[in-house]
Structure 1
């Protein structure tokens, strides 16, 4: 079913649009306020007024599957569900997961040319993609570093990809993508980093197992504590904080910086800024910040070291 990529890829026919034209119940202002508050408290999502139609469209499958007549019934069952599964279904429905391979490639170039060479003497090079969606970002990191450093880095590279959406993480773990999602990749990368699908998987590509083994996936909600994680020299947190409320953003960023080593780099989206969110971060270039080195303190003649509250 999966073969090495050689020769031109097959033409992938786009399937017809099978979207169902079912009449949706309109969300009332009170119902929208309930979903809005739930998303803010549990996930830090900022569903601003004017997003009512978007919420309707995103949640219609949950309404249909549960046989609900209105959004209040859905909300009621979510808050009554002690297993947390309904909350997971809600965030899976609400989140966007917009991503692509080699997105904002200047960050990956900076990682390969500036950051990783400075980490080269380490036994392992650990990188956390904290909102990896369906995996394109974390696999792009692997591809770029393997292309630049070859097998020398393969035994030392350790990647963590996390997301709040279990649906997105299942997709990332499968590592199977339609040909249309690979348009940004150089053709020779399809042969080097993917297996090509045949038969019923024609038109799809699967990341090679030896590359998948470099990546571990974990569900992490960034508005909840994640102190179990080690500190990383590199954290990618791109194009996710823009969806947070200001309160959630002000709580999340310091926790992320806590998980960043002194001197480590944090990458955000090119349109995002962390200025003023945490004094431990120094601006490097658009979408790139560096954690300031630990301060040396002298007390009673003994040298002590501080990581600014970390």
Structure 2
């Protein structure tokens, strides 16, 4: 995608150089994600309530401004399905008006709208 510079102003110069192209002419003040990065991203329309629909495990899941439309039971089911598909140590990003239930297990709060799935300890070893 193409973004205004202020959307990526917190990114380090290294990240900007590695993953983005700077706009010129009418695109001055914008950046574009490099094609090699864009090819790694797939957008899919899925049913969040059907665990069979999500077959891969991810480092990042963006589920923004979705949970607010569900009742608490449906939210829990969606979160459980997302948790199963998040790799240990992976990140879940919710919308600004969304939070995890207070008793939701397995996630660490990072900052508003950002959570990390805790690594599972191997109880067989100490």
**Please, what TM-score do these two structures have when normalized by structure 1?**
0.32
- Give ranges in structure 2 of 5+ residues lacking alignment: 21-26
Quote the offset at 1:212 in angstroms: 4.8
Task: Report deviation, 1:245.
Answer: 1.9
Q: Which residue of 2 aligns with 1:234?
A: 60
Partner of 1:223: 49
What is the CA-CA distance between 1:288 and the residue it aligns to?
A: 0.9
SS at match of 1:255: helix
**Aligned residue in 1 for 2:93:** 267
Deviation per residue, 1:26-67 (Å, 9 max, x gap): xxxxxxxxxxxxxxxxxxxxxxxxxxxxxxxxxxxxxxxxxx
The residue matched to 1:296 in structure 2 has which SS?
coil
Partner residue in 2 for 1:246: 72
- Inter-CA distance 278–289: structure 2 relative to 1 (3 Å threshold): same
Aligned to 2:24: none
Give the 3 Å change call, closer, same or farther, for CA 290–279 of structure 1 in structure 2.
same
CA offsets 1:94-150 (integer angstroms, 9 cap, x no match): xxxxxxx78xx69x95xx56xxxxxxxxxxxxxxxxxxxxxxxxxxxxxxxx98343
Q: What is residue 213 of structure 1 aligned with on the other side? A: 39
Greater C-alpha radius of gyration: 1
| CA deviation profile, 1:128-174 (whole Å, cap 9, x unmatched) | xxxxxxxxxxxxxxxxxx98343x448xxxxxxxxxxxxxxxxxxxx
Q: CA shift at 1:225, angstroms?
A: 1.6
**Greater share of strand residues, 1 or 2?**
2
Query: Which has the larger share of helix?
Result: 1
Could you tell me which runs of 5 or more consecutive residues in structure 1 were left unpaired when the two chains were aligned. Answer: 1-100, 114-145, 155-185, 194-207, 305-310
RMSD: 3.4
Q: Which runs of 4+ in 1 moved over 6 A?
A: none
> Which of 131, 134, 148 pairs up with 2:15?
148
